[in-house]
Every structure is written in structure tokens, then in C-alpha cells.
Amino acid sequence: MLSAAHDILSHERTSGNQSHVDPSPTPIPHNSSSRFDCNSVSTAAVLLADILPTLVIKLLAPIGLHLLPYSPRVLVSGICAAGSFVLVASSHSVGTSLCGVVLASISSGLGEVTFLSLTAFYPRAVISWWSSGTGGAGLLGALSYLGLTQAGLSPQHTLLSMLGIPAVLLASYFLLLTSPEPQDPGGEEEAESAARQPLIGTEAPESKPGSGSSLSFQERWTVFKGLLWYIVPLVMVYFAEYFINQGLFELLFFRNTPLSHAQQYRWYQMLYQAGVFASRSSLRCCRIRFTWALALLQCLNLVFLLADVWFGFLPSIYFVFLIVLYEGLLGGAAYVNTFHNIALETSDEHREFAMAATCISDTLGISLSGLLALPLHDFLCQLS
């Protein structure tokens, strides 16, 4: 949805209600009256529609989401994902498209909290695979959107082609994923039998002794205060990178390139996701204890690109491509190392709650960036 943000806000409908999109690599005429070739609405509007429902879900998750079994959560997540693709693809207005983005946000937020909580019941190595998988999902989404639109498919048909992904999600959970082994199995045979039961048939994690659902409010608050060492840097990392992604990407517009404005935006998103995927998959090679250093570097990225938007000193889009790739590397490294450190440093009884509570970090940072990127877009576009 974020890769499609520029298209969602700039698409026009012909009298036959067909989307008018120029997917070819040939440059299209740009808005000569604006230095930035601005849309009337910032892509930060799509970011807010994409993140605020997730923020609400993650704020409520540590309080009462554990009362809902995992299987219904996954089912709702898959249905909302499919609904978001259909709604945005069939939309004839920006408002309806944003409603579709909201559905995608519900799916994303509920899914992330659910599966990160589930990692507490499996070996710690699962954190590395989870991070790599989410990084790969971001890259695959951005790359497929870029590739299919470059090949000539309209954004609407590209979104509809993604409908198989929620189906694979549900099939993977209900048919492939097995329950974690019980803590005190009666024997090897019993443990093996329990491990092979699909989670649809049992909600064993919900009743596991010492799980996050049995913690008192005071215990939750104590654990949360201890997590702030990791939460605050991750908030800063995501604030800086999504201020860049949804506040500055659409303003980093180069006319001396064969790429149209929409294509430039898609390339930025794809390169960012490539960096995220690479660094989220790097835990076995490189582990970082002090994630605040990554937050500082990401904030420097923001300052540098904000200065370029204002002064326009970078001579070529390829310099921006390199910076965006580097930005993704920092963001992915911050994510995977934060959750890995938490998995190592929290006790078994606190780990499920800690994973769910720390989910708020990226969402909070992204929400703040969207709220600040909207007025920045309006200010700069009025000046230009």
C-alpha cells in the first residue's frame, strides 16, 4: 500500500471509470508550476491511514488482546488483507482507497502482534527468521508492485494479483504451522504428537503456565519500564525513516531522469525494502547491542535528505538511491536486533508480553512521522 501511495493519490478516472495510468518508462509531462510536482494530498495521508489503526491495536494488545485466541486473530488478519486489495483496486475515489488502506493496517497490526507473541513459544532462532521473513515480505511487495507496473499492468490489476497472498497466509497457519512442544511432556511420543497438532485444533499457548496473560498489572508495568531502553531508540529509527519515506520521497523529484515521478517513488520504496530485507536477515552475521547508535544515524539521514529537499544540492537521483538503500539497512538492523536482544534478556514468563508491548515502537514512530509530514508537504508545495 505504501508503494502504491503515490498512485492512490494521483490517479484519475476517465468517463468510463478506467484508471488512467502511464506505466511505461517514457517520461510523462510534469507539473511545471511546482518544483516538487506535488499531489494535492501528501502520501503521508496514506501512511496515516496505514498506521493509525495498527497503533490502536498495538496500544490495546498488552491490555486485553491475549483474551482472544490466536486462530480468530489470524483469520481476521487474512480477511482484512484480502478486503484491502479488493477495495483499493475497485475504488473510484481517494476516500474509498484510504478505507482499503485502513483494512490493510488492521491486518498488519493484528498479524504482527499475534505472530510476534507466538515467537515466545518457539526457539529463540525464530526471531531471526521472523525478521527476515517480514523484510522479505516488504521487498517482495515493493518489487512486485514496481515490476508489474513497469511491465504495463495497471496499479489496480497489480493489487488484485496479490489476492493469493492472504490465502497462502491462512493455509500456512491452519495447515502447516504446528503447536510448540509442551514444557513438561509425558514422554517423547506425547511430545511428538503434540508438536504435530495444527494450532487450529488447540490454543495451547493461551493456557501455557506463566504466559503473558497471567501477569499482574504491576508486573506488566515493571517489564514495560525495562523495555524503554529498546523502545525509545526504535521509535526514533522509525520516525526518521518514515518521515523520509512518506514525507520526503515524493518531494525528492528529479526531472533529469527517464523515470516519471510515480516511477521514481516506486524505486525509492523498492530500494528501501531491499535494504530492510538485507539487514533483517543479517542477525547471524552481525549483532548490535546498542541500538541507539542506529537511531542517531537514521536521524542524520533525515537531516541530510531534508536539507537536499530544501536546497536541491544532489545532482543525480542515483545518490538518493544509495541513501535510501542505506536507510533501509539501518531500519532493518534496528528492528531485528531490538527483538533479538529482548528475547535474550527477558525471562520466559515475561517474553510473550515483552514482544507484544515492544510492537508499539515502530508504529508510534511511524504515526508521529505521518502527522509531521503532512504539514511539511503543504508548506513546501505552497512555497514552490
Instruction: Domains for the chain: give ranges and CATH numbers.
Output: 1-8+41-177+216-383 (1.20.1250.20)
The more confidently predicted of residues 27 and 373 is 373
- Judged against a pLDDT cut of 80, whether residue 335 lies above it is answered with yes
Q: What is the mean pLDDT of the chain?
A: 81
Q: What is the pLDDT of residues 214-248, one digit of tens each?
A: 678 888 888 888 889 899 999 999 999 999 988 88
- The model carries a pTM of 0.73
- Residue 213 has a pLDDT of 54
Q: Kindly state the average pLDDT of the residues 313-322.
A: 94
**Greatest mean pLDDT among 7-16, 34-43, 209-218, 335-344:** 335-344
Q: Kindly state the average pLDDT of the residues 60-76.
A: 84
Q: Kindly state the average pLDDT of the residues 92-113.
A: 89
- Residue 179 has a pLDDT of 79
SS3 assignment for the chain: CCCCHHHHHHCEECCCCCEECCCCCCCCCCCCCCCCCCCCCCCHHHHHHHHHHHHHHHHHHHHHHHHCCHHHHHHHHHHHHHHHHHHHHHCCCHHHHHHHHHHHHHHHHHHHHHHHHHHHHCCCHHHHHHHHHHHHHHHHHHHHHHHHHHCCCCHHHHHHHHHHHHHHHHHHHHHHCECCCCCCCCCHHHHHHHHCCEHHHCCHHHHCCCCHHHCCHHHHHHHHHHHHHHHHHHHHHHHHHHHHHHHHHHHCCCCCCCCCHHHHHHHHHHHHHHHHHHHHCCCCCCCCCCCHHHHHHHHHHHHHHHHHHHHCCCCCHHHHHHHHHHHHHHHHHHHHHHHHHHHHHCCHHHHHHHHHHHCHHHHHHHHHHHHHHHHHHHHHHHHC
- Residue 81 has a pLDDT of 95
- Residue 329 has a pLDDT of 95
The more confidently predicted of residues 376 and 17 is 376
